[in-house]
Chain A
Amino acid sequence: MSGGHAIRLGVSLYSFTNEFLGRSHDLPALLRETAARGLGPGVEAVGFQSFRSFPDVTEAEAGAFRDALAEAGLRPTCLGITADRFLQPGQAIADSELIEFHARQMRSAHRLGFPLVRFQHAATPAVIRALVPLAESLELRMGLEVHAPLFLDHPVILAYREMFEAVGSPLLGFIPDFGAAARAVPEVQTAYFRDVLGAPSRAVDRALFLWHDDNLQPLDRLTDFAAFCAAEGIDDRFRDEIALIFGIIGRGDPARWSEIMPQVFHLHAKFYDCDPQDGSDPAIDTAANLAPFLAAGWQGDLSSEWEGHVTSRGDGFAMVEAQQRYLATLLNPPARKAEV
């Protein structure tokens, strides 16, 4: 199963959102603890989370980060950048402005030492295409995150696939997020909605019903759920919290990652929970998501990405440790004893 692959483990610092926002760890402390617990060597970050001077990272901040990485024996893998088209609610900026906004973030990624940026589908193919010359000059790869609620056959993703084909640049590719190919809504989330927020069960049940309806498009689920909440008198706060499941968890078929395999630059092993027995995530079948990459002998970096901070103040380091123990069993399964 593991023959031929060269998947390198790492972590997204996004997994430690609780620690960072809770101020128990600043950025150097996150890197030190990542190294101490052996959760690298790959390190991914979100530009607007980790760096105060983003989107125009100063040389001082970039140098401090590169030094901290080197001291910890870690290696930068991927930097998340954003497509901030709506700097004022409801008012879109022009493509030319969005191109320049991406360019600033790409130059910062280069300054920080990242070889790859993860961009958002909201950028649009036209904007990303215009940035290819800059990517070439920076020797920076650009990966579209395939993230819920979209999957490989959504028109938005198809438009990127067509553009990538037309441009034919080795610097353009994909970053599959395993949360786009989940098997269930995380129980930790539904329990949070019911037990912590006190949301009515009928609202949670309706959302789960809609999430499982494969005949609905992402926007349809939101529209239907909003109409249900209005008709049932569900508080807007419950509506908005529960509707989050439509945006961060998708029902794609993980076997279909093979369709884009040659253009995959990096992997997000998104997870919410770890089974205490075997370490698997009940909501996201990590083994099924990894299978196409193992079978193809894919080479590259994988980031553990715990998103539990959405509903929990849990310990991100402990969660990533648990997932990486599980990942190790998938990537390097013990040799079977010869059958007699």
Chain B
Amino acid sequence: MLSDLLIEPDSLVATTTGLSLGLRLPWYQSLPLSTVRLSEVAVDGTPLSPAGLSFTLNGQTRPLTVMPGLTGEYWFVTDTLHLHLPLSGPRRGTDYLCRLRLQLFPPYAETLRRDNVGALRMRAR
């Protein structure tokens, strides 16, 4: 049920460089960013390389590739993470189908893993 939270409704925004998508942490408590893995990001069926993505959280915008090293920084459980998706010619008022996989590895249980897949068609603001 928590995985339903993953993609925040009405969070898609067209920017000068692409799209910004709001994500929620599908877990009951905050987690270190190093235990969060985002993958299989696609817009309208076209996969985007994680190496080209960036995110905004805790007042900073950084490449997604730095996330595994952030052992001391937390994604607070009620905060929205904004994922920046590079896309040429993003248009306000256009519908986009966003799909992604987010895996969680809660750090207090070695074998616990939660696999969340979210897909939502939204109109870009």
Contacts and interface: CB of A to CB of B under 8 A. Distances in A.
Nearest to B71: A87
Contact of B35 (A89, A237, A310): A89
Contacts of B30: 48-49, 52, 54
B105 interface: yes
Contact of A14 (B5, B28, B35): B28
B35 A87 contact: yes
Contact of A85 (B1, B2, B107): B107
A85 B110 contact: yes
B84 to A, nearest CB: 23
Interface of B is mostly: loop
Nearest to B26: A21
Contacts of A84: 32, 107-108
A83 interface: yes
A209 interface: no
B35 A88 contact: yes
Nearest to B68: A88
Given A48-B74, A240-B114, A311 B29 contact: no
B2 A89 contact: no
A20 B78 contact: yes
Interface in A157-171: none
Contacts of A82: 29, 107-108
Contacts of A83: 108
B80 to A, nearest CB: 10
A25 B111 CA distance: 32
Contacts, number: 79
A46 interface: yes
Interface string B99-121: 00000010111111111010000
B34 interface: yes
A329 B79 CA distance: 40
B96 interface: no
Contacts of B105: 86, 89
Contacts of A52: 30, 76
A104 B100 CA distance: 35
A120 interface: yes
A: contact size bracket: 35 or more
A313 to B, nearest CB: 7
B: contact size bracket: 20 to 34
B42 to A, nearest CB: 17
A46 B29 contact: yes
Given A49-B77, A87-B71, A236-B115, A21 B107 contact: no
Nearest to B112: A247
Interface string A210-242: 000000000000100000000000001100100
A134 B109 CA distance: 25
A237 B107 contact: no
A21 B1 contact: no
A82 B111 CA distance: 15
A120 B32 CA distance: 17
B68 to A, nearest CB: 7
B47 to A, nearest CB: 19
Interface string A101-127: 000000000000000000010100000
B107 A311 contact: no
Contact of A311 (B1, B24, B114): B1
Contacts of B77: 20-21, 48-49
A298 interface: no
Q: What 4 pairs across the A-B complex have the smallest Cβ distances? A: A84-B107, A89-B105, A48-B29, A87-B71
Interface of A: 14, 17, 20-21, 23, 26, 46, 48-49, 52, 54, 82-90, 92, 120, 122, 192, 196, 222, 236-237, 240, 247, 309-313
Given A49-B30, A236-B115, 7 more contacts: A84-B107, A85-B107, A86-B35, A89-B35, A89-B113, A237-B115, A312-B1
11 contacts: A20-B77, A21-B5, A21-B28, A21-B77, A83-B108, A86-B35, A87-B35, A87-B71, A89-B105, A192-B1, A196-B1
